[in-house]
Amino acid sequence: MTGGEGELLVIGIGNVLLRDDGAGVRTAELAGRVQAGRPAAFPPGTRFVDGGTLGLELLPMVEDARAVVLIDAVDLHGQPGDVAVLRGDTLQGTLYQHVSPHQVGVGDLLAAGRLTGRLPGQVALVGIQPGDISVGLDLTEAVQAAVARATALAESVAWELERALHAEDVPATIADHDGDAPAAVAG
């Protein structure tokens, strides 16, 4: 599974109409603003995408990417606003424990990328524990406070994935990362 030689994608996932479910989109928006103000914040060729609830519609973009950082509200079994990086089996397992219906699409997106053999070898998810996913436009206080931490973590993960792309001893597929424990950054 190689993916393309294109952009490093930072994709915010979620429904901004369901309060904390929009945390991924809000974090990707902030990451884009950070990059605009500090051009070296993310690796060159990084693109910030509001993936909303698109799911499989993101597949062509993901297939052409050199690496992908997804940002989403996920059930980390923690406190609202907890943030963690998920990879490999941990990532897949988390997506099967849905916080909202769009996560079915994210799991399907990654599975489809694997089936086509075009999922980039470097994929990670920055997960944010939601507190409230009822109808509403505002993030809860705990999750709003986590957006800055999640943005900084997404920046760090993007550089980690970029370095891994250039390292000679990097596993060729995300499957080689199976079993990695999430790197949690508690609220």
Q: Are 107 and 96 in contact (CB under 8 A)?
A: yes
Whole-Å CA distances, 67 to 4, 88, 176: 8, 14, 15
Inform me whether the pLDDT recorded for 105 exceeds 70. no
Q: Which of 51-65, 89-103, 159-173 has the highest mean pLDDT?
A: 51-65
> In this structure, is residue 3 part of a structural domain?
no
Mean pLDDT of 80-95: 81
> How far is it between the farthest Cα atoms of the chain?
47
Mean pLDDT of 73-101: 78
For residue 69, what is the enclosing H or E element?
strand 67-73
State how beta strands 67-73 and 123-128 pair.
parallel
**pLDDT value at position 158?**
97
> In this structure, is residue 1 part of a structural domain?
no
Sheet of 183-185, strands arranged across: 46-52, 8-13, 67-73, 123-128, 83-86, 183-185
> Would you say how long the chain is, in residues?
187
> In this structure, is residue 119 part of a structural domain?
yes
CATH number for the domain spanning 109: value is 3.40.50.1450
**pLDDT value at position 169?**
45
Total tally of structural domains belonging to the chain = 1
Q: Are 13 and 70 in contact (CB under 8 A)?
A: yes
> In this structure, is residue 37 part of a structural domain?
yes
